Chain A
């Protein structure tokens, strides 16, 4: 099928099978390998992307579902000069990246949270991250990163 959608703020039209999994479309066809696949069945959050500003799992979606949608992946977070997004910066500074496999999904989840709740308490952060597993179990530093990101983002407010 001919598929048109917006990917990381750029309009895109391509030819693909309608049942192509979105994770494969992103990683294999578009070479956007930031989004990871781990469990492949919605349990781990490694493949978290945003579709129309909502967190979703690229392993449980097919191409036909994203026709006309606004898609954001981890690659779309950095600024035009490739400067890291404040949430990415916070992950680096807090040492919240161990093996790194869960990181893109975690960063997407924190970014999504801070857009709706700029100043979340720990309960809100935990709830927002409850769909993302880290098998290095580095959760404390990921919590630190989320708190730090909130601080950074709030500083940017006028």
Chain B
């Protein structure tokens, strides 16, 4: 059974991390992995008594919104800054786990678990999120897409913690959309998920688009060829989206696992692109994505 420490300051936390202790944030993945004996840490650092604003708060720093790694999903769903700037993230978080899990789990935890099915990850990829890593010797930042290196693995050094997530504001995108396909709406691990950001011209043609896919590869997958093909497509033109659906099915090499085979994922990836055309695309973060209920 692990020993538990309760640091009160960031310095104490960094000292403990440097000594090799495992960090307990929301516990919704960690305790499940410990129960299954997938990991058996000798020591746990519990964050609940830690008084550090940076680790928990959401702040507007001008060009970016800065999210503390220990902010819970519920806290983010209710946060006006996140609602205003990142509806795609709100939509995704509303499909994550259950109300109880969202009250406990943290954004930093979802990133550190680094599951290809992590619900917050496709939105964070399209939003060009950066991670801020802190250690005794100082901090550094890097794009999330470079930080996550495989299922469950990241570029975090042993003495570092994931401190904050920094997301640039997105003035150039008009539409935010997230859709998750699973066996049921709540408490389900994505068979496939897609985050999309779309910028439109005055006559509703696509002038900017970002797509990122969950549960399609070993990490989150992007699809630059399909994005390129969608450029200039009128939002109400099914023909353009049918071409893009065919392209995504060629562009990706899906995984096969216990939840679905590669062929199914390939087909559904195209369908999710088609649904972008059918709408309704939600701009209001309070109108939640299809998996919200």
A interface, CB within 8 angstroms of B:
1, 17-19, 40-43, 45, 48, 54-57, 59-62, 64-65, 67-68, 109, 123, 126-128, 130-132
Extra 7 A-B pairs, beta carbons < 8 Å, given A68-B49, A127-B99: A18-B4, A19-B1, A56-B104, A62-B46, A109-B99, A126-B293, A131-B97
Which partner residue on chain B sits nearest A51 by CB separation?
B103
Whether A131 contacts B186 by the Cβ 8 Å rule is: yes
Pick from B31, B32, B48, B99: contact of A130, CB under 8 Å = B99
| B67: Cβ under 8 A from any A Cβ | no
Sampled A-B contacts (25; CB under 8 Å)? A18-B4, A19-B3, A19-B44, A40-B35, A42-B28, A45-B98, A48-B100, A54-B74, A55-B103, A56-B103, A57-B28, A60-B27, A60-B32, A61-B104, A62-B4, A62-B24, A64-B46, A65-B27, A65-B48, A67-B49, A109-B99, A127-B293, A128-B99, A130-B293, A131-B99
Residues of A within 8 A of B104 (CB): 56-57, 60-61
Which partner residue on chain A sits nearest B98 by CB separation?
A131
Whether A42 contacts B32 by the Cβ 8 Å rule is: yes
| Known A60-B31, A62-B27; contact A127-B292, beta-carbon cutoff 8 A | yes
Residues of B within 8 A of A43 (CB): 187
Which partner residue on chain B sits nearest A105 by CB separation?
B100
Contact with A along B1-23 (1 / 0, CB 8 A): 11110100000000000000000
Residues of A within 8 A of B59 (CB): none
> A153 CB to closest chain B CB, in angstroms?
19
| B136: Cβ under 8 A from any A Cβ | no
Q: How far is the CA of A109 from the CA of B100 in the complex (A)?
A: 9
| B169: Cβ under 8 A from any A Cβ | no
Whether A65 contacts B46 by the Cβ 8 Å rule is: yes
Residues of B within 8 A of A68 (CB): 49
> B76 CB to closest chain A CB, in angstroms?
14
Residues of B within 8 A of A130 (CB): 98-99, 185-187, 293
Which partner residue on chain A sits nearest B30 by CB separation?
A60
| B101: Cβ under 8 A from any A Cβ | yes
Residues of B within 8 A of A132 (CB): 98
Whether B4 contacts A42 by the Cβ 8 Å rule is: no
Residues of B within 8 A of A18 (CB): 3-4, 6, 46
Whether B100 contacts A42 by the Cβ 8 Å rule is: yes
Whether B28 contacts A60 by the Cβ 8 Å rule is: yes
Q: How far is the CA of A128 from the CA of B185 in the complex (A)?
A: 13
Whether B6 contacts A64 by the Cβ 8 Å rule is: yes
Whether B49 contacts A56 by the Cβ 8 Å rule is: no
Residues of A within 8 A of B101 (CB): 42, 57, 131
Residues of B96-136 contacting chain A, CB below 8 A: 97-101, 103-104
Residues of A within 8 A of B292 (CB): 127
Residues of A within 8 A of B293 (CB): 123, 126-127, 130
Residues of A within 8 A of B99 (CB): 55, 109, 127-128, 130-131
Q: How far is the CA of A128 from the CA of B101 in the complex (A)?
A: 12
> B184 CB to closest chain A CB, in angstroms?
9
Residues of B16-64 contacting chain A, CB below 8 A: 24, 27-28, 31-32, 35, 44, 46, 48-49
Which partner residue on chain A sits nearest B291 by CB separation?
A130
Whether A67 contacts B4 by the Cβ 8 Å rule is: no
Whether A67 contacts B6 by the Cβ 8 Å rule is: yes
Which partner residue on chain A sits nearest B2 by CB separation?
A19
Residues of A within 8 A of B28 (CB): 42, 57, 60
Q: How far is the CA of A132 from the CA of B49 in the complex (A)?
A: 29
Q: How far is the CA of A67 from the CA of B27 in the complex (A)?
A: 16
> A94 CB to closest chain B CB, in angstroms?
21
Q: How far is the CA of A123 from the CA of B292 in the complex (A)?
A: 10
Q: How far is the CA of A133 from the CA of B32 in the complex (A)?
A: 18
Q: How far is the CA of A68 from the CA of B50 in the complex (A)?
A: 13
> B256 CB to closest chain A CB, in angstroms?
24
Contact with A along B181-192 (1 / 0, CB 8 A): 000011100000
Q: How far is the CA of A128 from the CA of B103 in the complex (A)?
A: 12
Residues of B within 8 A of A61 (CB): 27, 31, 104
Q: How far is the CA of A128 from the CA of B32 in the complex (A)?
A: 23
